Structure 1
């Protein structure tokens, strides 16, 4: 069974977007390098969903490539789905998406896409693991991710920390309650304008 990794780009003060869901300068490092991140068939990753491929610094390239290639299923909340319109049915990585939502898929929305709308975080992770097989389940940080972490369903926390202070906005860990211990980081990679960190969740 694949690892469940909660992952997002985050400001140094812990925000993944502003109050409106805009990421501002958080994703600039994805497009400011000189090393394109390509999939097995040579197609370039499109993290934005807008047709602009990822090009990162050489320091980040191997980490980003291995991370995105490992993903089988992405789990996202309904707010993010609505904000990006589900990347128009083409997730930036992986083959499947599970949306944590009380509401069903919009009628007629990209019927060809492997998007599954599941009510409840435990059921969402069960579905995501089934779809991912041995590959990684990548959980988007934010409110849905925080609920999944609080439920004890996250194996690792991955943060791409960008040197910017937002001051307010949407938190990486949402409105999570209580204390949750992580192990020392087992990945620490300094890229250009980003610091890649990964922590195992302490059981």
Structure 2
């Protein structure tokens, strides 16, 4: 059975979307700066990005990430794997190319169970702040990958916002540093 991996780009002050998220600024004001490494990084950054899909059988994302990304991802849906959208708003599954987005309204446990079933022996990647926070709170994340952007926002949507009552021990297993990024990998200690 594969691992449950939480993977996200984050500023030094824990922001995963800039302030003022809305339909015009889907990642908040200047939030796109958190992801420029994916397209404009160096060869090492591109190798890290390719690893995002290696061994991944399914994705779990939040509704906000889906709403902000669906137009950007284009007609193929970008992921080419089953993707489960954790949401409070029910919707019919949406097929875009090789990507099927299934909307899950009955909680993170259900989204994760469906993603694991779809992934088989491959990994499930959690790729938005809310599902990551919820699954860390539940104690079901095996690995945490943070793509640390050398930027301080000061305000915005922060990762780890719902973990005030829980301490999570981590063991660093890898660090990849490039001129513009630090890619950190941790095992979650249980």
Q: Alpha-carbon deviation of 1:162?
A: 0.7
Shift of 1:137: 0.7
Structure 1 distance, partners of 2:180, 2:55, is 23
Structure 1 residues 89 and 102, CA, compared in 2 at 3 Å: closer, same or farther? Answer: farther
Distance 2:34 2:157 in 1: 13
Gaps of 5+ in 2: 22-26
| TM-score normalised by the chain length of structure 2 | 0.84
Query: 2:56, 2:75 → 1: CA distance?
Result: 16
| Post-superposition offset of 1:152 | 1.1
Q: Indicate if the aligned counterparts of 2:58 and 2:82 stay in contact, CA closer than 8 A.
A: yes
Query: What's the C-alpha RMSD, in Å, of the aligned pairs?
Result: 2.2
8 A contact 1:4–1:155 mirrored in 2: yes
Q: Where does residue 32 of structure 2 map in the other structure?
A: 24
TM-score by length of 1: 0.79
Aligned to 1:92: 78
Report the counterpart of residue 171 of structure 2 in structure 1. Answer: 184
Asked if 2 retains the 8 angstrom alpha-carbon contact of 1:12 and 1:162, the reply is yes
Tell me the equivalent position of 2:145. 158
Change (3 A) 1:111 1:190: closer
Distance 1:80 1:121, change over 3 A: same
Return closer, same or farther for 1:115/1:149 CA change in 2, 3 Å cut-off.
Answer: same
8 Å Cα contact 2:92/2:103 also seen in 1:
no
Deviation at 1:84, TM superposition (A): 2.1
| Helix, strand or coil at the partner of 2:70 | helix
Tell me how far 1:197 sits from its aligned partner: 0.4
CA spacing shift, 1:153–1:143, aligned 2, 3 Å: same
- In 2, Cα distance between the equivalents of 1:12 and 1:91? 29
Matches within 5 A, 1:10-49: 10-19=10-19, 20=21, 21-22=27-28, 23-32=31-40
Mind listing any 5+ residue stretches in structure 1 that lack a counterpart?
A: 33-55
The residue that corresponds to 2:24 in the other structure is none
